[in-house]
Amino acid sequence: MLSQGRRMERPVVIHKVASDLRLSPNWVDYEAGRRVDVWADARHALQGLPGGGLNLGFEAVDRQAAGALRDHVALRFVARNAPPLDLRYFELAQQTNRFANVLRSLGVGKGDHLFVLAGRIPELYVAVLGALKNGSVVTPLFSAFGPEPIAARIQLGAGRVLVTTDALYQRKVKQIRAQTPTLVHVLLVAEDGGITNEPDTLDLGTLMASASDTFSTVETQPDDPALLHFTSGTTGTPKGALHVHEAVVTHFATGRYALDLHPQDRYWCTADPGWVTGTSYGIIAPLLQGVTSLIDREEFDAERWYTLLEQERISVWYTAPTAIRMLMKAGTELAQRHSHPDLRFIASVGEPLNPEAVWWGQEALGLPIHDNWWQTETGGIMIANTPAFDIKPGSMGRPLPGIDACIVEHLEAEGEPARVRVIEEANVEGELALKRGWPSMFRAYLNNEARYRKCFAGELYLTGDLAKRDADGYYWFVGRADDVIKSAGHLIGPFEVESVLMEHPAVAEAGVIGKPDPVVGEVVKAFVSLKDGYQAGETLRLDISAHARRRLGAAVAPKEIVFLPTLPRTRSGKIMRRLLKARELGLPEGDTSTLEGGAWTK
């Protein structure tokens, strides 16, 4: 009751403060910042390749290693049972050179696709940056994925090289080698520091030891592919969003203006590189700004996280609403047992950040949390709360310099190309759209030109998110326009989960939805109907659940499975996930005119 009373007194804005009295923010005046050509400024600050061209890996590592930051710690790895490991900028340059030389010696070159499947170990970071310098196209995969999502993504991306650990290879990759014929080289990291001798693989440590530590970066052009990130859609296999080397311009500018990074910062991004945030802001942007970036190999643990913030003297912290909600659950008292005198800026991304969480930051850590918005396709932060203006808790902020956002309504339900009208009025809900042309805009969905085209209406990129803009130009997230599930900040395609459930011999049909959850946003919930001859019951439910976890991995598999006699379908045969969700939540069922007659009884 008391906290309820306090909550009601809270003002609707948190007035901006200089984010740190010792450092002046990179962006102080919203309007003035918007008038600056930040892309031109960023291009100017970046070096470019000696012979012309632009390369993400070179800008992030070699440019810094050749300058004043040569001996500065670039990446600091911490783990529960190992001493911290620091890689200085020049060491990172040498290691990435070695890795690039390994690729070259294997005949892997510009445009070849390389996947990395590993926890947050140094080799992951070296492989990603080294491969970029080699002109190869890189995809870090989330190590908690099961064999199915791994195989689907390597197939779609025609992966030629995979870097993984011996343990992950045994558990998840060996069984899918036959399904991934494009994979020519599998490079194994022996996590015990030894040498692996698994058939059909190469030992990465051995190759690195004999490779030269000098390498001249392959001449990539701004429009050459660099990174391939997968994102989940409602139907079909995941979509491979392709990013180019020019994305470095956005990474540079947003590291400066959205995260307010300064070279003296000690920065911690808690995202795994298997998700776009963990690459753009867990690898690239901090290096571009010359900061020391902390990488924790462990999973979430409230006490450990507060200790790291304190002991590692983190000054800028980029995390996610799920983590913040878990910290809130652990209690303000735990936070207050630690002191964080160095912490000056906190940002969050991935899901809506409740106003309560923004205020919690203020109470527990002495700083508000700055929500920001972007997605795999945008490659970098587009809309943010920053030190340059007041925060309205619950809003994802305002467009960054160089970004033009608007809210649109569709003039036809299905037309192609989409025709939209920009909604000028404030506080009207519609689809969030961005004016195309920012440097990190994705350039393709791999092998799916038609789907890519559908994302655009003339000069506007349609984000698939519903939002509102208020009279002050702040954007407020409303929801997604599709059925994609957001769980613990990760997008999960219902179709991918349904397909695996359908592989189980007892399952006739499956419909998967996101069920709201106070901590992780949504949990994956599956409704299944059974084939004749199978009896619904706890044993079968556990068996289906185990099958899903084995194939998909714990992060993607459904947490709840419910049996239904039949699932609601449209007359054209599509499972009506919306109806499943409405019934789950006790909401109005909306238009059911396309529901297959009488097929579903509750």
Q: Name the residue nearer to ligand AMP (CB basis): 130 or 439.
A: 439
CB of 316 to ligand AMP, least distance (A): 17
Q: Name the residue nearer to ligand AMP (CB basis): 141 or 218.
A: 141
Q: Name the residue nearer to ligand AMP (CB basis): 318 or 373.
A: 373
CB of 6 to ligand AMP, least distance (A): 25
CB of 561 to ligand AMP, least distance (A): 24
Q: Which stretch binds ligand AMP (CB under 6 A): 298-306, 373-381, 447-455, 496-504?
A: 373-381
Q: Please give the Cα distance from 424 to 159 (Å, whole number).
A: 45
First to last CA, the chain: 38
Tell me how crowded residue 379 is: count the other CB atoms within 10 A of its CB: 30
Contact pick of 180, 201, 220, 231 for ligand AMP (by CB under 6 A): 231
Alpha helix positions (H), 49-146: 56-57, 63-65, 89-105, 122-133
Q: Please give the Cα distance from 115 to 273 (Å, whole number).
A: 12
Query: In this structure, is the dihedral angle defined by the CA atoms of residues 415, 416, 422 and 426, taken in order, positive or negative?
Result: positive
Contact pick of 101, 196, 254, 375 for ligand AMP (by CB under 6 A): 375
Contact pick of 174, 435, 480, 541 for ligand AMP (by CB under 6 A): 480
Beta-strand (E) ranges in 151-200? Answer: 161-165, 185-189
CB of 410 to ligand AMP, least distance (A): 17
CB of 403 to ligand AMP, least distance (A): 14
CB of 173 to ligand AMP, least distance (A): 23
Q: Name the residue nearer to ligand AMP (CB basis): 147 or 352.
A: 352
352 binds ligand AMP (CB under 6 A): yes
Structure tokens at 35: 């008038």
Q: Which stretch binds ligand AMP (CB under 6 A): 84-92, 325-333, 344-352, 531-539?
A: 344-352
491 binds ligand AMP (CB under 6 A): yes
Binding mask 535-574 for ligand AMP (x = CB under 6 A): ----------------------------------------
* Type of residue numbered 84: P
Tell me how crowded residue 514 is: count the other CB atoms within 10 A of its CB: 23
- Is-contact 172 118, C-beta < 8 A? no
Q: Please give the Cα distance from 12 to 392 (Å, whole number).
A: 6
Return all residues near 297 (Cβ < 8 A) that are at least 6 apart.
Answer: 77, 78, 79, 80, 82, 119, 120, 121
Contact pick of 246, 371, 498, 522 for ligand AMP (by CB under 6 A): 371
396 binds ligand AMP (CB under 6 A): yes
Tell me how crowded residue 37 is: count the other CB atoms within 10 A of its CB: 11
- Is-contact 447 486, C-beta < 8 A? no
Please report, as residue ranges, which positions from 253 to 272 form the binding site for ligand AMP (by CB under 6 A).
none
Contact pick of 99, 477, 527, 563 for ligand AMP (by CB under 6 A): 477
Q: Which stretch binds ligand AMP (CB under 6 A): 19-27, 37-45, 297-305, 349-357?
A: 349-357
350 binds ligand AMP (CB under 6 A): yes
CB of 406 to ligand AMP, least distance (A): 16
- Is-contact 356 35, C-beta < 8 A? no
246 binds ligand AMP (CB under 6 A): no
Q: Give CA separation, 542 vs 99, 395, 444, 480, in Å.
A: 44, 40, 40, 31
Nearest by Cα to 117 from 136, 143, 144, 152? 143
CB of 378 to ligand AMP, least distance (A): 8
Structure tokens at 347: 């940002």
Q: Please give the Cα distance from 334 to 319 (Å, whole number).
A: 18
Q: Which H/E stretch holds residue 330?
A: helix 321-330
Q: Which stretch binds ligand AMP (CB under 6 A): 173-181, 345-353, 434-442, 537-545?
A: 345-353
Contact pick of 349, 501, 575, 580 for ligand AMP (by CB under 6 A): 349
At residue 100, the 3 state secondary structure works out as helix
* Type of residue numbered 303: E
341-353 b/e (C-beta count within 10 Å ≥ 16 → b) = ebbbbbbbbbbbb
Q: Name the residue nearer to ligand AMP (CB basis): 479 or 565.
A: 479
CB of 318 to ligand AMP, least distance (A): 12
Alpha helix positions (H), 181-246: 204-210
Please report, as residue ranges, which positions from 290 to 329 form the binding site for ligand AMP (by CB under 6 A).
none
Structure tokens at 280: 């753009």
276 binds ligand AMP (CB under 6 A): yes
138 binds ligand AMP (CB under 6 A): no
* Type of residue numbered 230: F
Angle between helices 538-552 and 147-156 (to 10 degrees): 40
Q: Name the residue nearer to ligand AMP (CB basis): 186 or 349.
A: 349
The footprint of ligand AMP on this chain (CB under 6 A) covers a number of residues equal to 18
Contact pick of 465, 496, 498, 522 for ligand AMP (by CB under 6 A): 465
Q: Please give the Cα distance from 551 to 13 (Å, whole number).
A: 46
CB of 305 to ligand AMP, least distance (A): 20
> Which residues of this chain interact with ligand AMP, rule CB under 6 A?
231, 276, 349-352, 371-373, 375-376, 396, 463, 465, 477, 480, 486, 491
